[in-house]
Chain A
Amino acid sequence: MLFRDTLSMALRGLSTHKSRSFLTILGIVIGISSITLITSIGQSAEGLILGEVQGLGAQNVFVIPGREPSGPNGFGFTILDDSLKERDLEALRKKSNVPDAARVVPFVFGPAVASYGSEAFTATVLGGTSDLVPLYNLDLSAGMMFDDYDVRERSQIAVIGKDVAKELFGSSTAIGEKIKLKDSSVRVIGVSGDKGQSPFVDFDDAIVMPYTTAQTYILGFSYIQRIAVTASSPETMDAVVKDIEATLRDTHNITDPDKDDFFVQTPTEIADTFSTITGVLTLLLSSVAGISLVVGGVGIMNIMLVSVTERTREIGLRKALGAKNNDILSQFLTEAVILTLAGGVLGISIGISLSYLASFAARTFAGIAMPFILPISGMVMGVLVSAVIGLIFGLFPARQAALKSPMEALRYE
């Protein structure tokens, strides 16, 4: 039998029960649309995070104290570690050690309550150097940034985020005022502008000050929590990473790389970590949605069995006129696959529409720059999966139809 005939026969068979056919595929529609939605949002979220990582600058690497986390338990130890010291910073800044480093910026951070008069606000204290400005494209809406002199002298001055300024000073000017930060008094010399959220640091909520000041007066420790190193160009990244590792091993007297008490995180690594997380989440949620596909498939099988019984006489007639078992089998199998494929295509359209709405809502109402990504691979998968479901769950009913004896099928009332 020609394929075109099989196809038109199957379509005709389905069109006689339009509403039943539609109800039958609902399970598949729901399953495929959830999977499409989940993969699409997962990819959007990944795109969002990758965008943030890109915003971090592809040329920046972070030196982090402690051992590289190799599992969920690794993270806690990383934070607590205090292996990076002032002398490491000095070593990394030496041109002879890391010739391709354009900038070396130390970081310390921690929460602290800032107060002015009767107003109080819990802010993130971020200690660094004036290089924070080029590193994060930091933009001051008023006042000025501290400089290297302030870092050396541990000046008690700070640049506060716009939300901090709003909370503490309202509409009155903050520049020149003294705020109380933990037990010290700090003078506001600048307010950061509308840069908003930078990757992993919310400057709007932050109080930026010389790291030496933060160490001495606010955080009460003398180690460094992160060192950002900017390579002179993307091509020198690998060399920079190698030089950093060699330098720090030297200052820490480490000969065995397995015993490193620091690690260097590149943007690619950060991106990989987040991709893994979103990937696992997507997979997990998709498998839950996949259960509805199985339920939908069983529904298809059920209706196909009813349909085969109802059309016993038709099957008998077709066999009497010369239809082979395989002709009947492919007719019913094609019906099942058309059903599930239609369900798949409908589900994909619904899932994509919902995903588009979600990213639109995120942009419009939550201010999150979540991109809408057309999940091409998810769409292809959805089509394939729905077709395979049709094949699997249509096979049993189609076989029942194909194996009917022509004479008994003709006699069926």
Chain B
Amino acid sequence: MAAPIIEVRGLGKEYREQDVTTVGLASVDITIKEGEFVAIVGPSGSGKSTLLQILGCLDRPTKGTYRLAGKDLTSFSDEELAQVRNEMLGFVFQAFNLMPRQSVLENVKMPLIYADIPEPARTQRAQAMVDLVGLTNRSDFAAAKLSGGQKQRVAIARALVNNPRVIFADEPTGSLDSRSGEVITRFLQDLNDQGNTIVLVTHESYVAMAAKRMVSIRDGVIESDTVIDKRRIIAEQGFEK
């Protein structure tokens, strides 16, 4: 059995603005093992994005504990969390978040800059990822000139370039037409087949069904946590088509 990479206990997040306190996450316990492909689903405002952001070390919980690869991140400083994001995590966003004027290759290089990887290793590693996502002949194109599907492939290449332990994707198909969305989904499946751990948030059923495990969240708590049986497509509650 694979080792747990993410272990979360009693995780909660409250937002305090002046006197009003909003609960983003009430209390979440979840364990994710290496090599898993987890889809977090739930209606808007359920807390699924908040959970992803905390798991991705982009935000801090207000209570509970989070162990990533055995390390307790609760007391980590901003700088240490930045290093964790850089060395252990990869991100794919709904809006791609590429630097529009920079080339495909330069966009993919960006995490390596912060990892202090010098040239020429930097270009070699980035080029390998660009090749992997099938954009070899586009590597000098400015990111703004690409189609949506191509942009998201660049973002995936960028997420992979640091050999992350976990890839987080927040609505990776949310800005794509369904055909490109399916390509990206299949791509994520392939990555998972090669052993990458993927955690994504989506509200599209076909994306969720591509995962091996579906966690449904409502009102800041986990409502259901199911292993998806590919042969029996079940219409689960908690996500909409």
Contact = CB atoms under 8 A, between A and B. Distances in A.
Given A407-B58, A410-B58, A324 B114 contact: yes
B116 A1 contact: yes
Interface residues of A, number: 24
B58 A406 contact: yes
B99 interface: yes
A287 B49 CA distance: 56
Given A317-B97, A410-B93, A324 B83 contact: yes
B58 A324 contact: no
Nearest to A406: B58
A71 interface: no
Interface in B80-129: 82-83, 85-87, 91, 93, 97, 99, 101-102, 110-111, 113-116, 118
Interface string A314-357: 10111111111111000000000000000000000000000000
Interface in B36-71: 53, 56, 58-59
A410 B97 contact: yes
Contacts of B59: 405-407
B58 A325 contact: no
Contacts of A320: 56, 58, 85, 91, 97
A410 B92 CA distance: 12
Interface residues of B, number: 26
Interface string A5-40: 100010010001000000000000000000000000
A313 interface: yes
A2 interface: yes
Contacts of B85: 319-322, 406
Nearest to A403: B78
Contacts of A406: 58-59, 85
Given A1-B116, A313-B97, A322 B83 contact: yes
B93 A321 contact: no
Contact of B101 (A5, A16, A313): A16
Contact of A321 (B78, B86, B116): B86
Contacts of A317: 97, 99
A95 to B, nearest CB: 81
Interface in B125-162: 158, 162
B11 to A, nearest CB: 15
A395 B139 CA distance: 36
Contacts of B79: 324-326
Interface in B159-199: 162
A318 B101 contact: no
Contact of B82 (A16, A316, A319): A319
Given A313-B97, A410-B58, A325 B82 contact: yes
A410 B99 CA distance: 13
A324 B82 contact: yes
B82 A323 contact: yes
Contacts of B82: 319, 322-325
Contacts of B101: 12, 16
B66 to A, nearest CB: 15
A128 B59 CA distance: 92
A199 B93 CA distance: 79
Contact of B116 (A2, A16, A325, A410): A2
Given A16-B101, A317-B97, A410-B97, A322 B114 contact: yes
A405 B118 CA distance: 28
A1 B97 contact: no
Nearest to B83: A322
B58 A321 contact: no
B114 A321 contact: yes
A362 to B, nearest CB: 49
Interface string A150-193: 00000000000000000000000000000000000000000000
Contacts of B91: 320-321
Contacts of B115: 322
Residue from the set A2, A313, A322 with the largest chain B CB neighbour count within 10 Å: A322
A5 B113 contact: yes
Nearest to A322: B86
A314 B99 contact: yes
A335 to B, nearest CB: 15
A231 B114 CA distance: 73
A5 B114 CA distance: 9
Given A405-B59, A410-B93, A321 B118 contact: no
Nearest to B79: A324
B58 A327 contact: no
A327 B93 CA distance: 22
A322 to B, nearest CB: 2
Nearest to A321: B111
Contacts of B99: 314, 317
Nearest to A325: B78
Contact of A323 (B87, B114, B158): B114
Nearest to B115: A322
Interface of B: 53, 56, 58-59, 78-79, 82-83, 85-87, 91, 93, 97, 99, 101-102, 110-111, 113-116, 118, 158, 162
22 contacts: A1-B113, A1-B116, A316-B97, A317-B99, A318-B114, A319-B82, A320-B56, A321-B85, A321-B86, A321-B91, A321-B111, A321-B114, A322-B83, A322-B114, A323-B82, A323-B114, A324-B79, A325-B78, A405-B59, A410-B58, A410-B93, A410-B97
6 closest residue pairs by CB, A with B: A322-B86, A322-B114, A407-B59, A407-B58, A324-B82, A321-B111
Given A324-B83, A406-B59, 16 more contacts: A1-B113, A1-B114, A1-B116, A5-B113, A16-B101, A319-B58, A319-B82, A320-B85, A320-B91, A322-B87, A323-B82, A323-B86, A325-B78, A407-B59, A410-B93, A410-B97
